[in-house]
Amino acid sequence: MENNQQKQIVFLKAQAAKEASKKLAIMNSAQKNNILSAMACAIEENIKEIIFHNEIDAQAAKEAGISSTLIDRLSLNEKRINDIAKSIKDIVLLQDPVGTIVEEVSASIDIDVKKIRVPIGVIGIIYESRPNVTVDASALCLKAGNSVILKGGSEAINSNRFLAKIISEAAIKSGMPEGAIQFIDTIDRTAVQELIHLENLIDLLIPRGSNDLLKFIKTHSLIPVLSHGKGLCHTYIDENVDIDMAIKIALNAKCQRPSVCNATETLLVHKNIAEKVLPQLCKLYTESGVEIRGCTVTKTIVNNIKDANEDDWNQEYLDLKISIKVVNSLEEAIEHINKYGSMHSEAIVTNNKEAADKFISEVDAAAVFVNASTRLHDGGVLGLGCEIGISTQKLHARGTMGLKELTTTKYVVRGKGTIRN
């Protein structure tokens, strides 16, 4: 496709999304929930077809030599598809944030002042690998009253195209304004360059993908960016700890699903408990297929593991790999996390309340966990419903981004002929 033709297509899709957003903004909760229910039904009724299109992508990824972890992110099976449909149904049950009162202000004159939630408008989602984002992002944006423009990666083009088609068709039949879900149907990366310059039509960009993608969009976008950052997460095992609990949490945090951003990549262990914890834990890691890289002290406790170096402390593996460091104190663990972490999800396992409180107050992250796995940092698990991603930024939204994070606010001021003297 010629660049000028593609530029025009992207522009027209964004323009249509802008027009649709005006209609979405005034739809009531019942109307939006009816649309979402129709989308969930469309997913459930097309499971075989979704798997068919997804298998084309998965096979192409294998032939292209894409890593097994990325293929895992890409792949859909019946359970994952049913989970996608369920996530839409969960969103239906959530309170509609639009119109809710955030704050009531007592003014110095005779006026009524309220701050309420309103839709953002048009949200562009630029993402890689995961086709479930096509559905999750659409459902969340619609419930919050926003149009959505979807630009997925080339590795999932067939899956994304089919998913966008069936949910959009079902939504329009149920009353969604045409143009509210827009899919950029190309693998040409120049489409992203066109998209990020449409600041008069798109109100917010949310990128999800590799560090290179995030860096490019943050550097070149003319549109505000709410970034889903990388997940270099840590689990710290304190000296005062229930060993069985610590092993259970550390194993889950690494192995339950290693290809995702809230999986633990570095394990920190207090020196006073290391000899009791590490032999058992590393045996379980090895049995689970985890490649272990350890510091000098770790290697004196556990045999047949690789050396961990500076690159490992900076590494988001997204794979069955883990780096382990024995630390001298809680303070050293916190210092290590704040130096190397990505401000995503950090965990401490301890029986000491003072240690837990210190960890909570001093670790700089979007979410901190006490005696719990980093894998719990998920909108559905935390009771917030399906999420658009996990922000590691500090402005507008941080951590799990659900419905409220897809709205902005407006002051509504009611007077009685009130003027300013």
Asked if residue 420 belongs to a domain, the reply is no
Instruction: Tell whether 114 and 223 lie within a shared domain.
Output: yes
pTM (2 d.p.): 0.87
Are 80 and 196 part of one and the same domain?
yes
Count of CB atoms situated within 10 Å of the CB of 420: 4
Amino acid identity, position 339: K
Domain-located, residue 32: yes
Integer Cα distance of 397 and 402 in angstroms: 9
Same-domain pairing of 251 and 178: no
In a domain, 121, yes or no: yes
Asked whether residue 107 falls in the same domain as residue 195, the answer is: yes
What's phi and psi for 119, nearest 5 deg? -60, 155
**224 and 244 housed in the same domain:** no
Domain-embedded: residue 247: yes
Residue 22 in domain: yes
Q: Domain tally for the chain?
A: 2
Check whether residue 222 and residue 239 sit in a common domain.
no
Strand ranges (E), 227-344: 233-237, 264-270, 291-294, 306-307, 321-327
| Tens-digit pLDDT string for the chain (421 aa) | 567 888 899 999 999 999 999 999 999 999 999 999 999 999 999 999 999 999 999 999 999 998 887 888 899 999 999 999 999 999 999 999 999 999 998 888 889 999 999 999 999 999 988 899 999 999 999 999 999 999 999 999 999 999 999 999 999 999 999 999 999 999 888 899 999 999 999 999 999 887 788 889 999 999 999 877 789 999 999 999 999 999 999 999 999 999 889 999 999 999 999 999 999 999 999 999 999 999 999 999 999 999 999 999 999 998 999 999 999 999 999 999 999 999 999 999 999 999 999 999 999 999 999 999 999 998 878 877 778 888 888 888 888 888 999 999 999 999 999 988 8
**Range(s) of the domain holding residue 365:** 233-376
162 in a structural domain: yes
**String of DSSP letters for 216-235:** HHHHH-SS-B--B----EEE
Q: Please report the DSSP string for 274-285 in residue order.
A: HHHHHHHHHHHH
The letter for the amino acid at 23 is: K
Output the six-digit token pair for 115. 């701050």
Cβ atoms of 267 and 374 closer than 8 Å = no
Query: Do 256 and 194 belong together in one domain?
Result: no
CATH number at residue 93: 3.40.605.10
User: What is the C-alpha to C-alpha distance for residues 362 and 154, in angstroms, rounded to an integer?
Assistant: 40
198 and 84, same domain (yes or no): yes
Please state, in angstroms and as integers, the Cα–Cα distance from residue 116 to each residue in 103, 104, 113, 226, 411, following that order. 7, 9, 10, 21, 6
Q: What are phi and psi of 358, to 5 degrees?
A: -65, -45
Whichever domain contains 333, its CATH number is: 3.40.309.10
Residue 180 covered by a domain: yes
Query: Is residue 180 located within the same domain as residue 49?
Result: yes
Same domain, 139 and 52: yes
Region of residue 389 (phi > 0: left; psi between -120 and 50: alpha; otherwise: beta): left
DSSP 57-81: HHHHHHHTT--HHHHHHH---HHHH
Q: Tell whether 46 and 188 lie within a shared domain.
A: yes
- Report helix, strand or coil for 273: coil
Say if 209 falls within a structural domain: yes
Query: Do residues 276 and 401 both lie within one domain?
Result: no
Q: How far apart are the first and last CA of the chain?
A: 61
